[in-house]
Structure 1
Amino acid sequence: MEICEEVVIVGGGIAGLATAVALKRVGVRALVLERSDELRATGAALTLFPNAWRALHALGVAHKLNAIYSSLTKGTVTNLVTGATETIVYADTPDGDKLGVRAVHRKALLEALAEELPSGTIRFSSKLASVKTQTLEGSPNAVLHMEDDTTIKAKVLIGCDGVHSVMAQWLGLVSPVHAGRWSVRSLAIYPEGHGFNQEIQSFLSDGKRAGLVPLNDKEFYWFINYKSSHRGEGAGSDPKLIQKDVIENLAKDYPPIFLDVVRHADLATLTATPLLFRYPWDLIFGNLCKGNVTVAGDAMHPMTPDLGQGGCSALEDAVVLGRHIRNSLLRDGSIRYESVGQVLESYVKERRWRVAGLIAGSYISGWVRQGGSGLLVNFMKMVYYRFLYARVLNASNYDCGDLPAVFSTDSA
């Protein structure tokens, strides 16, 4: 069977669904190919900062999540070695639009995006076998061969297929590298309510960083990031063993509240994964698009979670890409073949330095906070907090812009 589409998106995660919604809002229908048989919610939850809420407003879905999740008022960071505690107040954004900081269920975000798409947009259980390009009518087309023997031709192909992206490999991007740290993440459920305020609590110790983020009055999102050398033996991928490893090894000297939250973990959401990232210079100098093919989200810019910007930047990608593709449309809503390459290059130009900076900022932030002690580390901490910290935090106030309206039917 052969299918022809204007736009095909490989991957139905945050970046893929958000990009499909952005394209729908500018009048372009996309086909989303998702290899799983349902929406994937790996990671359980994520914290969305003002830049993500601006993108969600542009996509028209922010109101759905605002109605469910309350803003986080402040956060505390406790150094368990020195005993010092720093308080961070999450104030309104500088322009007074009260975007705030909220933690949301990953599945709720995916469902909010999927609900905006026409029936049939997402094709589940679609596994990519190979990709090639061919020239039709003087312009390149992407040709996808699926494992079920379906052939799909697309004027525009967007890879949103995650950290281990096949599309990124096809473009020639260097594979992500191990950051030297692991992360355990999960939801914790208190059926009778946990009784704590809407405040983030973070804990730092030698080579480790942990956090508690309330989603509502009954659920926490918790994590602990640690150097590979801290990893307990025998935990493997068994959630019960991972939970035991955290309680008895990784966080054995942590405050009782953290350990209690870990004990309330929903084991179905508990994962232990290595932290991967792509070197910033690979984005600055690498091929982020080729002809009518590009990438977005983790397929483009995998980063460590130290700034909480992985999902936020994926939402930015979607809005920016939608805006640029809108510039290639004819009055009937079809895409001009001859302008596709130029449009994708302009999208890449707008995103390249932004996401390279986020990768660098996230890595440096994690290294400084989890680097332990020593003269070099202490010097880097001083430089970071004196000269870079404010800039890094300000990255979460970025405005990716709006999506232009579709052509009016009575336009000239």
Structure 2
Amino acid sequence: MEHVEEIVIVGAGIAGLATALGLHRKGVKSLVLESFPSIRTSGYAIGTWTNAWRALDALGIGNKIREQHILVERFKVFSPSSGAILREAKLEEIEGKTGKIEIRCVRREFLLQTLAQELPKDTIRYSSKVVLIEEEGDLKLLHLADGSVIKTKVLIGGDGINSIVGKYLGMKKPSSTGRLAVRGFAEYPTNHGFKPEFIQINGQGFRVGMSPSTEKSIYWYFGWYSSENGKDESTTKTGELILIKLSNSKAPNEIIEVIQKSEMDQMVPSPLKYRTPFSLLFGNITKRNICVIGDAFHPMTPDLGQGGCIALEDSVILSRCLSEAVHQGKIEEGLEKFAKVRRWRCAKVVLIAYIVEFIYTTKWELVYELLREKVLAGIMAGALLMVANYDCGEV
């Protein structure tokens, strides 16, 4: 008798592995197809906020991740023009409707490995790139690059911003923001000595931030608008370009030190893209027995640090909706329930991130003087905490 998979997840990223683990916790088997020959180690780290920790706890791995990463105790926003602190908050004193605020900077590789280790050994199939999706009755036929074909009753696309599953659903390509970003780690042989603080600077056409991840590593990011025709990016090395932009501001010395300690010759900028809130609200994120999650669903600018967090929310909610649907034999209804829950939440976060990005990276002097530093620093901090103040529930 021909073998048919119950559920196939394309992509062994955060969303894909977390969904597989959520289903496993509910006694539902899935197969994860990953095009790479192993877990991907790129991506450095993700800012893991309260909403993500609630998802990780629901998946049963929260404490394993916590014990390896530093708890951020304070949040600071600096002025790029004066170096003054515009906003400062002690996080232990802030409590929302879902409890205390919790932020840690989690190494992406460690998170993926932890998720993978919790899964049955035969769950992930590496070197399995999907190149074509077809239908055979109620089944989906997945044609792989090696010529093999896998049949499945349910198909989940967790395959990133260029998702082949999203393309099959007819989702529009993500829009460009005109911005570039670089992320990195500064590694120290012993304790780096930095305070457990999340530091951020917004303005003068760029955004930069840093936070300790472990006792020996500091995570940082830098995002900026590409110049006309990308002339400065093509003639200047990325590391040098970042230091030039920072030297023309009043950035704290510790941020410059951390970036200088990173592997500057290996810095490669990535274009930032997002899917519009309108397309999230009205696009085909699910159809019959197929859906998308994570960046395949809602790529967003990193201005709220919520991309990975929202993907973890997706995973818990989809695991809950889909496991119930599998047991009841109502797959389509389960996926529609997931879509209904996630559309407004994801569209709202994408929109807030886009607005924050526009305000803080514009070079309009009037906006900068009258709004950005004097009024909107507090609103920005409030937006960060508001978005993180969400509970996805149990698996």
TM-score w.r.t. the length of structure 2 is 0.92
Match of 1:81 in 2: 81
| Identity value in percent | 38
Q: Deviations over 1:174-232 (max 9, x none)?
A: 10011121111111112133211111121233111111111122211011111112863
Residue 290, structure 1, aligned to residue 287, structure 2: yes
> What is the one-letter code of the residue matched to 1:177?
S
1:341 to 314, 322, 332: 332
Cα RMSD of the aligned pairs, angstroms, is 2.3
CA distance in 1, matches of 2:323, 2:375: 43
List runs of 5+ in structure 1 lacking aligned partners: 404-412
Cα 1:269–1:234 shift into 2, 3 Å:
closer
Provide Cα deviations, 1:370-399, integer angstroms capped at 9, x if missing partner: 112344666775886687863553110100
Higher deviation after alignment, 380-389 or 285-294: 380-389
Matched, 1:365 2:356: yes
The residue aligned with 2:157 is 159
CA spacing shift, 1:173–1:96, aligned 2, 3 Å: closer
SS across alignment from 1:77? strand
Q: Is the 8 A contact 1:290 1:341 kept in 2?
A: yes
Write the mapping of 1:221-260 to structure 2, written as runs, cut at 5 A. 221-229=219-227, 232-234=232-234, 241-247=237-243, 249-253=244-248, 254-260=251-257
Deviations 1:75-107 (A, max 9, x none): 211112143312122235436855611111000
Q: What is residue 122 of structure 1 aligned with on the other side? A: 124
Q: Which runs of 5+ in 2 are unaligned?
A: none
Letter of the aligned partner of 2:390 in structure 1? Y
- Do 1:34 and 1:124's aligned partners in 2 also have CA atoms closer than 8 Å? yes
User: Counterpart of 2:233 in 1: which secondary structure?
Assistant: coil
SS in 1 for 2:391: coil
TM-score (norm 1): 0.88
Output the CA distance in 2 between the equivalents of 1:324 and 1:385: 38
1:197 and 2:195 equivalent?
yes
Amino acid at match of 2:179: R
2:39 aligned counterpart, secondary structure:
coil
Q: Does residue 395 of structure 2 align to residue 400 of structure 1?
A: no
Shift of the 59–286 alpha-carbon distance from structure 1 to 2, 3 Å rule, reads same
The structure-2 alpha-carbon separation of the partners of 1:380 and 1:174, relative to structure 1 and needing over 3 Å to count, comes to: farther
Looking at structure 2, the residues matched to 98 and 81 of structure 1 have their Cα atoms a distance apart, in angstroms, of 33
Q: Give the secondary-structure state (helix, strand or coil) at the position aligned to 1:400.
A: coil
* Equivalence for 1:280: 277
Does residue 1:67 correspond to 2:67, yes or no? yes
Worse-superposed segment, 351-360 or 370-379: 370-379
Going from structure 1 to structure 2, the CA distance change for 1:265 and 1:13 (only over 3 Å counts) comes to same
| Cα distance between partner residues in 2 of 1:61 and 1:277 | 29
Q: Which amino acid aligns with 1:395?
A: V
Q: After TM superposition, which residue ranges in structure 1, 4 or more long, deviate above 6 angstroms?
A: 377-380, 385-389
Aligned equivalent of 1:48: 48
Contact 2:8 2:152 in 1 (8 A): yes
